[in-house]
Amino acid sequence: MAEVKVALALGSGAARGWAHIGVIKALEEMGVRINVVAGTSIGSLVGAGYASGRLAEIEEWVCEMGRWEVWNLLDFGFNQGGLIGGEKVFNKAREQFGAKNIEDLPMTYGAVATDLYSGREMWLRKGDLYDVSRASCAMPGVLAPAAINGRWLIDGGLVNPVPVSLCRALDADFVIAVHLNSQLTSKALEQRGRNIPPQTETEQVQRQPEIENNDETGFLDNLRSSGQHYFETVKDRFRANPHKPPGMFSVMSSAIDIMQERITKTRMAGDPPDILIQPKLGHIGIMEFQRGNEAIDIGYETTHRMRDLIMDEIELYRQRSG
């Protein structure tokens, strides 16, 4: 039988991306041999750890990450093009897991980023592993852009949230894609009216459902853990108003979520993966990085429930190619 070259396409999703660790653990337990890893945004960071053989160390780091640890990794840089500079966390990853170049990895690896000025999709296949994942993770407004090869690069989720196409370009035969944001649209519909003032029946028909403010709450909770009185006061004032409009961070993160979900559906319609894994992570905010244990467990359990389908599909492909 011919050997099947299996690829993982790890999608964007910020803190929800720790679920990728659980997905990979489950696939390894099944005996699925991964030959290619392509990642977008947080998927590029987890994929970097896996491709370099340091997934266990990254899992340990994530599982020990509390709110205070998350706060300590945030280097605020309002004048750098984002709320967070981003160098601190990626330098920490480089120190803790080892500096490596993509060309030296034992596994084929690639990451997706977006050129800030041209909007072009960039496939990053060379250079420092954590510089590349840093560029792929640069969420607009949150993480500052990264300069690579004379270009300012931002989050690859703006153009290719689940990089199936990059896996195909890297000569993969069989692509397993992990989509982290599939539950977000339905979640917003379920939360209809939660923070909306009373309206007439006509207004209720015309008004669109609001996006839940969960992401902002999680982000402010992280800030609260630092003991900053200002943010505590602001949050209390917001909570005092039961009909408050969504805040700036909530609007920004929800808009990015919606955009990436639409782009993902469009791209997968034209280039579907062989297996699509969609952990239900809508209840985890994009900045709730301290919920790594929970996200990992969800990714692991979701993948294990698909065991029979995954193994059968790989075997069918192997037989057709044999």
Please tell me the distance from the alpha carbon of residue 284 to that of residue 290, in angstroms, as a whole number: 10
Under a CB-based contact definition with an 8 Å cutoff, are residues 40 and 136 in contact? yes
Residue 117 backbone phi and psi in degrees, to 5: -95, -30
Please tell me the distance from the alpha carbon of residue 164 to that of residue 264, in angstroms, as a whole number: 10
Mark whether 41 is an active-site residue.
yes
CB within 8 A of 186, min separation 6: which ones? 282
Mark whether 52 is an active-site residue.
no
Torsion 224-229-235-240 (CA) sign: positive
Please tell me the distance from the alpha carbon of residue 99 to that of residue 95, in angstroms, as a whole number: 7
Please tell me the distance from the alpha carbon of residue 172 to that of residue 321, in angstroms, as a whole number: 13
Annotated catalytic residue: which of 131, 136, 155, 253?
155
Please tell me the distance from the alpha carbon of residue 80 to that of residue 146, in angstroms, as a whole number: 10
Annotated catalytic residue: which of 41, 52, 182, 250?
41
- CA 248 to chain centroid, in Å, comes to 20
Catalytic residues: 41, 155
